[in-house]
Amino acid sequence: MIAISRRQILISGAFLWLFAVVGTTLVAVTEFSTADAIVENERRVLLRNLLALLPADRLDNDIANDTLELPPSPLLGTETRSTAYRARLQGEPVAVIFNSVAPNGYNGRINLLVGVNVDGSVAGVRVIKHAETPGLGDGIEIRKSPWIRSFDGKSLDNPDAAGWRVKRDGGEFDQLTGATITPRAIVAAVRNTLLYYRQNADMIFE
């Protein structure tokens, strides 16, 4: 009896092992054959996000790989290291795109891509992740409303510090109907990113 059941256990175990090997092999083969395509896809999506802020004719470098690791910074709202992407044209710096965070959205953190031209003006802003109320605060998404474009071309002197607020607080930027906190958070985050750029411009393009 004991011998038989031990044999059965061995056979079953061997069978399970066999399937694990076959399954893992198949997955490994697939992974190997799709790896390039997946990396390419990830790069393409990243590029698409970056190029939404900078028209392709303004740069000729490989922006997705011309990166800079930035330490955590209160001005960027980051608590961990973040990546910045540098755009150049014929070797000359054109703009830099920061991963910024607006920490005080209505429902927590709002992740932004903020493009800053080399002269310190805003190239463009996009929201990449947020948890704002659907139907109210989500007007910050470009596919819901063009509001986020209102930063294009603005800089620390245009408008001045008092103007970098939503209209309800006496500034220049519209709030969204029914939502003031979300735009307020983003206006502050964009301005802080510009401040960060002014303080660190030398370091950013070495």
Partner 1 sequence: MSSVIVSSPYVAPGNTLKRLMIQVIIALVPGTLAYAWFFGPGVIVNIVLAIMFALTFEAGILKLRGKPVMPHLTDFSAVVAAWLFALCLPMHAPWWLVLTGIGFAMVAGKHLYGGLGFNPFNPAMVGYVVLLVSFPLEMTTWYLPGSVSGETLSLAESLAYSFGSADIGQWDALSSATPLDHVKTGVGQDIPISEISQSPLFGDYAGEGWEWIAFWWFVGGVYMLATKTIRWHIPASLLVAVMTLSLIFYLVDPEVYASPLFHLLSGAAVIGAFFIATDPVSAATTDLGRIYYGLMIGSLIYVIRTWGGYPDGIAFAVLLANMCVPLIDYYTQPRVYGEE
Partner 2 sequence: MSSNSEITRNGLWSNNVALVQLLGLCPLLAVTSTVVNGIGLGIATLITLVLSNTIVSLIRGFVRKEVRLPVFVLIIASVVTIIELAMKALFYDLYLVLGIFIPLIVTNCAIIGRAEGFASRNPVGPSALDGLMMGTGFLVVLALLGGLREIIGFGTLFANAELMFGDGAQSLTVVLNQDYPGFLLAVLPPGAFFGLAILIVAKNWLDLRPAEKPEPAPPLPEGA
Where do contacts with partner 2 occur on this chain (CB under 8 A)?
Answer: 8, 11-13, 15-16, 19-20, 22-24, 26-27, 30-31, 34, 37-38, 41-42, 44-45, 134-135
Closest CB to partner 1 among 103 and 159?
A: 103
Give 110's strand partners: 102
CB of 15 to partner 1, least distance (A): 48
Closest CB to partner 1 among 99 and 175?
A: 175
CB of 106 to partner 2, least distance (A): 16
Q: How far apart are CA 54 and CA 76, in angstroms?
A: 20
DSSP 140-174: GSTTT-GGGGGGTT-BTTBS-GGGSSBGGGTSSBP
**Terminal-to-terminal C-alpha distance of the chain:** 77
Which residues lie near partner 1 (CB under 8 A)?
A: 104, 106-107, 133-136, 177-178, 180-181
Closest CB to partner 1 among 124 and 183?
A: 183
The closest of 166, 188, 165 to 179, measured between CA atoms, is 166
CB of 142 to partner 1, least distance (A): 19
- Give 178's Cβ-side CA count (13 Å radius): 9
The closest of 203, 183, 202, 189 to 100, measured between CA atoms, is 189
CB of 183 to partner 1, least distance (A): 13
CB of 51 to partner 1, least distance (A): 32
Closest CB to partner 2 among 23 and 74?
A: 23
Residue 198 touches which member of partner 1, partner 2, none, C-beta under 5-8 Å by kind: none
CB 110 within 8 A of CB 127: yes
CB 178 within 8 A of CB 170: no
Closest CB to partner 1 among 135 and 153?
A: 135
Cis check: omega of the bond before 159, within 30 degrees of 0: yes
CB of 23 to partner 1, least distance (A): 43
Closest CB to partner 1 among 124 and 139?
A: 139
Q: How far apart are CA 41 and CA 19, in angstroms?
A: 31
Residue 104 touches which member of partner 1, partner 2, none, C-beta under 5-8 Å by kind: partner 1
